[in-house]
Amino acid sequence: MTLPHPTADQISLPNVLAVLGDPTRLAIVRYLASKEGVPLNCSQFLDLGSKTNLSYHLAKLREAGVTRAEVVGTSRLITLRRDDLDARFPGLLDSVIAATVNDTALPAVGAPEIEIRA
């Protein structure tokens, strides 16, 4: 089973910004950025809410082109589409992530230390 993802050219700035306007989705993106290049099982984000709620947020991120979800057996592995986002909107993702580092209003996921890719 494969999940639909927009192509890099189909990723639109209004959709990306709308998706990143939600604190839960922003926390997911911040955590994915801290684990850059490592596909994460969706269970990594269960701190953020119920499975149903989490599925909703992960689908919104995927549909906007912010993340990629790969189905592996009964799991979904989530990665950040950094290359596509950087190609479409240079510097946007780094700016958004940098702005979230000390934002205590965002829900916590995993380790509190977030490394920003320079």
- State residue 112's pLDDT score: 47
- State residue 111's pLDDT score: 47
- State residue 103's pLDDT score: 78
Under DSSP, is residue 70 helix (H, G, I), strand (E, B) or coil? strand
For 42-90, write each residue's pLDDT tens digit: 888 888 888 889 999 999 999 999 999 998 888 889 999 999 999 999 9
- State residue 42's pLDDT score: 83
- State residue 113's pLDDT score: 44
d(CA 15, CA 103): 22
Does residue 4 surpass a pLDDT of 60?
yes
Interstrand relation of 75-80 and 67-72 (parallel, antiparallel or unpaired): antiparallel
Tell me the CA distances in angstroms from 76 to 37, 44, 115, one per residue in order.
15, 11, 24
Does residue 115 surpass a pLDDT of 50?
no
Find the angle CA(24)-CA(53)-CA(46) to the nearest 5 degrees. 70
Read off the pTM: 0.85
Mean per-residue pLDDT over the chain, rounded: 87
- Domains of the chain as residue ranges with CATH: 11-101 (1.10.10.10)
The residue ranking higher by pLDDT, 42 or 9, is: 9
Tokens of 63: 């549909």
